[in-house]
Amino acid sequence: MNPENFDNPIVYPVKSRNITKLASAALMTATYPDLYTVCKILKADISKKKNFDISGIHIGTEEFKNISVTGPFVGAPYAVMLLEQLILYGVKQIIFIGWCGSISENIKIGDIILPKSAFIDEGISKDYGAKQISFPDTSLLQSLEKLLIKNGKKYHKTDIWTADAIYRETITKVKNYQKKGAAAVEMETSALFSTGKFKNIKVCSLLTVSDELYTFKWKPGFTDNNFISARKTACEFACELASNLVSIK
């Protein structure tokens, strides 16, 4: 065995016979509600999902240029597994739609966050060459921001914190990441950013605030009307950006 190949992966993603080449831009949704919303926008039949690991992949109509959406999933390891699979099918631009908890008193339930960086507190990024912080693709970030501005949508462009253990988001950790400048916490973004850079794939993230932690007492807002409305808006913007991306020759 050639010693120069020792760092090459032994396990690799394998294509399914049920899926052919996908459009160059794709959406990843962490939650069922956002998956259903995106499928409705793309006119993808939710009942006709194709198996994609233990999640599903749905493909929009020709009207929406066959843009695909995959989900749901929780956490960095599985998110990256799905991203690796999408790359295998020719996807080059990823828009991740997720939910997050605010750790800033200036950010409330129902606000939209556009992450400009993610502090790494998960175990995947190091395997993709990142150590403490990871970043979205600049061009995708700018394109998404332009859409938000064009439509007069308020948002927070800020740093976030990506964690592995949702039930270990302690006061000590929250204070630490507040000092670093993070405004929210979630479980996938930093790993997706790191993988995107490593694989030379463009990745950006759009998050909706579903709960608050900044007072060091958990305030869930999953049934709050502001949150429900905002997450639907985030899905609409993500779909519009994906449509714009696959229209570019």
Residues belonging to the active site: 211
What are the start-end ranges of the E strands in 103-187? 112-121, 133-134, 156-163, 182-186
Return the SS3 of 202: strand
What's the one-letter identity of residue 28? M
Strands 112-121 and 50-52: unpaired
Q: How many CB atoms lie within 10 A of CB 49?
A: 17
Task: Tell me how far apart the alpha carbons of residues 19 and 29 are, in angstroms, rounded to a whole number.
Answer: 19
| Paired tokens of 210 | 């579903």
Nearest to 160 by CA among 219, 195, 112, 226: 112
Answer yes or no: are the C-beta atoms of 116 and 205 closer than 8 Å.
no
Running DSSP on this structure, what letter comes out for residue 221? -
